[in-house]
Amino acid sequence: MRSKSAAEFEHWFRKDVGRQLVRVEPPRDLAAKIEDQLEGKRRMRFDLRGLTPFSQAVLSKTLEIPRGQVRPYGWIAREIGHPAAVRAVGTALANNPIPYFIPCHRVIRTDGVIGNYGGGGPEAKAQILSLEGVQLKRLQTLARSGLRYEGVRSTKIFCFPTCYHGRRVREGNFVFFHDEAEARAAGYRPCKDCRPAVA
């Protein structure tokens, strides 16, 4: 079930876009497009040139996070070449001109906490992630134990817990790690898709 109707999203979307330096195209059939976007069938195109290069990089990178998955703020920072600018990433996402469409809700804290969210608070963020299929319970359980990565015994590859490579793995075939060093020490290498660490 869905927390908001497409009509509600459309209203919010128009309001939000209206005060930002961002163009979205095309504006026609917006309700249908929002519907598709929510279903994961479509990826709209955005013109983000009104934003700073840093913000553009953050938002573009955020677009790469697949539906049903999450990444930490620090991952964005590292991926765009500003590994120390973690907090600035949060600032850039807080100013995300197109929430939902640029899925800043898929960026959560390294320690597993859901993190803050402008469009309705952490509760809304959690709700959206659930709709997208993220196993929040499992994520939080791991996080509470300080386990950030999951490795697959057969492949000796470690991933972020929501990486799709683990989608068919039986829970018993996972091995969990606190950090990169621990994973490597166990003979695991980082996944090339979710990139939990630099190869």
Q: Does 37 bind DNA (CB under 7 A)?
A: no
> For residue 149, how many C-alpha atoms fall within 13 Å in the half-sphere facing its CB?
24
Q: Does 175 bind DNA (CB under 7 A)?
A: no
Q: What distance in Å separates the CA atoms of residue 146 and residue 128, rounded to the nearest whole number? A: 24
Q: Does 95 bind DNA (CB under 7 A)?
A: yes
Q: What distance in Å separates the CA atoms of residue 48 and residue 102, rounded to the nearest whole number? A: 11
Q: Tell me the closest approach of the beta carbon of residue 30 to DNA, in angstroms.
A: 21
Q: Does 119 bind DNA (CB under 7 A)?
A: yes
Q: Does 96 bind DNA (CB under 7 A)?
A: yes
Q: Does 141 bind DNA (CB under 7 A)?
A: no
Confirm whether 163 is a catalytic residue: no
Judged by beta carbon, residue 5 or residue 91, the one nearer DNA is: 91
Q: What distance in Å separates the CA atoms of residue 1 and residue 133, rounded to the nearest whole number? A: 12
Q: Does 73 bind DNA (CB under 7 A)?
A: yes
Q: Does 117 bind DNA (CB under 7 A)?
A: yes
Q: Tell me the closest approach of the beta carbon of residue 32 to DNA, in angstroms.
A: 25
Judged on CB neighbours under 10 Å (0-12, 13-18, 19+), 54 is middle
- List CB contacts of 50: < 8 A, sequence separation 6 or more: 20, 21, 22
User: Is residue 69 helix, strand or coil?
Assistant: coil
Q: Which of these, 47, 42, 41, lies nearest to 59 by C-alpha position?
A: 47
Pick the binder of DNA from 30, 44, 63, 86 (CB under 7 A): 86
State the amino acid at position 154 in one-letter form: S
Stretch that binds DNA, among 22-30, 70-78, 127-135, 182-190 (CB under 7 A): 70-78
Binding residues with DNA: total (CB under 7 A): 33
Encoded tokens for 92: 């850039």
Q: Would you tell me which residues interact with DNA (CB under 7 A)?
A: 52-55, 72-74, 82, 84-96, 99, 104, 107, 109-111, 115-119, 144
